[in-house]
Amino acid sequence: MFDFNQVTIVLVSTSHPGNIGATARAMKNMGLNKLTLVQPAQFPSGVAVGRAVSAIDILEKATVVDTLQEAVADCGLVIGASARSRKIPWPMLNPEQCAEKVVADARKNKVALVFGREDAGLNNEELQQCHFHVQIPTNPGYSSLNLASAVMVICYEVHKAALAVENLPVPQEDEFWDQEKANGEQVEHFYRHLERVMIAIDFHDLDNPRQLMQRMRRLFSRIRIDVMEMNILRGILSNIEYKIGSVKQTSQKK
């Protein structure tokens, strides 16, 4: 049985509470129940309750946090929904591919599906915290869906994919993997550590950063590193720091 508790819908800085309610309803229709709100403009809200109809339980259980980083801290797979292509191309999925990944991954890791602001979508920093982006194919002349409609399309695909694997228990590639994927919190520690070391060895210049960290994020997002591999890399970074004398071996920073 597919465990829908493994999948969280994350809404970032939603301005209209009606969209939060409509999201809860779409989620419940499709069997999902975990909702995280990053800095909603208005929540709790009577308007949201009105639009949620019989999905008020999802609103009541919703978690409110300050940053996307917090929202995805325990997730091994993060997929961001975006209507537009961005400056640095990122691994891109269509809704069916997205749902397949979600269902395969949710057997091992927690998964977050992230949706942006009504007016401006997700910003670059937020998009770079995602392993993949998902774009719903639409009319090129008017590509941006209403937030809750976008949530519905993605949740519908996840629902269909979840039913399909129940009927056809094909082993997924990831089932054979011996380690869990690193989660959002672990990779953020790693990026900070990597940045510190690259600065210490004069590889990275904060006055002229170019797109180094974005490219490092994209590289490691593509690989989807596991916990053991991440520990090895952290160990290498710590030894570099020790060797160049920028930190004592005993006082490893997080």
Cα 136 to Cα 80, 99, 103, 108, 190: the distances in Å are 11, 12, 18, 26, 31
- The answer to whether 25 touches 56, Cβ cutoff 8 Å, is no
Q: By C-beta, is 69 or 172 nearer to ligand SAH?
A: 69
Taking CB under 6 A as the criterion, the residue among 5, 63, 124, 138 binding ligand SAH is 138
> How far is the C-alpha of 107 from the C-alpha of 191, rounded, in Å?
26
Q: Yes or no: say if 79 and 113 are a contact pair by the CB < 8 Å rule.
A: yes
- Distance of closest approach, residue 160 Cβ to ligand SAH, in angstroms: 17
The mark string for 20-39 relative to ligand SAH (x by CB under 6 A, - otherwise) is: --------------------
| Binds ligand SAH by CB under 6 A, chosen from 64, 83, 164, 165 | 83
Are 108 and 2 a contacting pair, CB within 8 Å?
A: no
- Name which position in 55, 102, 150, 152 contacts ligand SAH (CB under 6 A): 150
Handedness of CA 12, 219, 73, 211 (dihedral sign): negative
Told to check if 122 binds ligand SAH by CB under 6 A, we report yes
Residue with smaller CB distance to ligand SAH, 130 or 237: 130
- Note the residues at the interface with ligand SAH (CB under 6 A): 81-84, 115-116, 118, 120-122, 134-136, 138, 143-145, 147, 150
